[in-house]
Structure 1
């Protein structure tokens, strides 16, 4: 394959799904986003994302032209039958992902590429829901998708070599750097990022320092662009907890979630999306 796929489908109209749609539409692809929840909220997320990019001079084409390339539908069954690439970006629930992937495979063409945006779940296990798992792999985008520089390509046990090469080429055309990893718990980025984040939460829990001091220490001392606690707020404490629990079950005690993290999630302190996490976002 050469060039970006001209017709892209995204399942999930949350921050990540809309970001993926933005990235492809900005470079000319026609994109359809399937969202079973609030379609108006998903449309607003796209408009806001594109507007910010336009204000920064990051869109080659006019805002209304790029926005016009993205359509929203209420079910996977409504995705176009000529889709060339489908990216699943629903919450990190294995059963949900397997269901929507199996439903999508019945809609898209037999030669379409199917990818999951999971940050930690096994593409090999998710791909078992498909009739043809050789065309399936992980495309782990990072938030915010339009501005991020990395896509972690996760090769499932069934993924063909040609598919990995094609998708790596697409990632480069998006202006991002592909890093190919084999299917293992947490891949490379989530495994390291979660471990750092959990230790920072333990330090806060133990009173080693306050959140801002811990973050500033990593930003200034190790040149991290963002400290681990602020990063956790942006990712979402609920998502970080779910990934930590998965890694705890697969890789052992070093990924055990701190009680402080569990308590904050139980109180609904999920980070920026709820207005409060380790920081006040209100």
Structure 2
């Protein structure tokens, strides 16, 4: 039996973006300073409401990506749906959050409803004593997005996208250290990289620095899914952003 008096609840649909890049060997997230209420003057993730009933969710996310970061041809993937009551003082708002990761991103330009936009080190937001407080539930969304990025570095060749066309093992290690937020043992890291078949391949002559030993050059290999994966560990002393433990698992100590 149906109740003719029932009316559907008023729910607004929005998209939020976790846009990550590396700057100065540190993982950064794009934040905007809100120019309107609620939370005027506070920092938040880029995002906004769907324009109309005909706009799809991914289309809205790509529109915001272009408006807030000037990015068009970047891989987007959904992080999750966030719809707890009270997350937005304007009413019941459900947000579909997306993750975008790209290297060498330029300085951002603030969108229409933002006072400013800036790249901010992730650890300045996710540490317990964070320097930057985010509006709404965006700290939770950011934490979920960073964890998704860390997982992608475990199972895919994404890390090579943050390197130049040719790179050294040391430069690749710096990418993992920046995203995972840990110091990695170079010898163990080298073994892990070499055991992941098709991850990287040799690329021409060795690089000869002004001082020190020459370094072998590599380029991205043909595979996208890594096997075996570059699995993190939970060894003591591997404290990372957000209070999680991470690192390269020792031989024989891999875990899912």
TM over 0.5: no
Question: More strand by proportion, 1 or 2?
Answer: 2
* Larger-gyration structure (1/2): 2
When the two structures are superposed, what TM-score results if normalisation uses the length of structure 2? Answer: 0.27
When the two structures are superposed, what TM-score results if normalisation uses the length of structure 1? Answer: 0.25
Question: More helix by proportion, 1 or 2?
Answer: 1
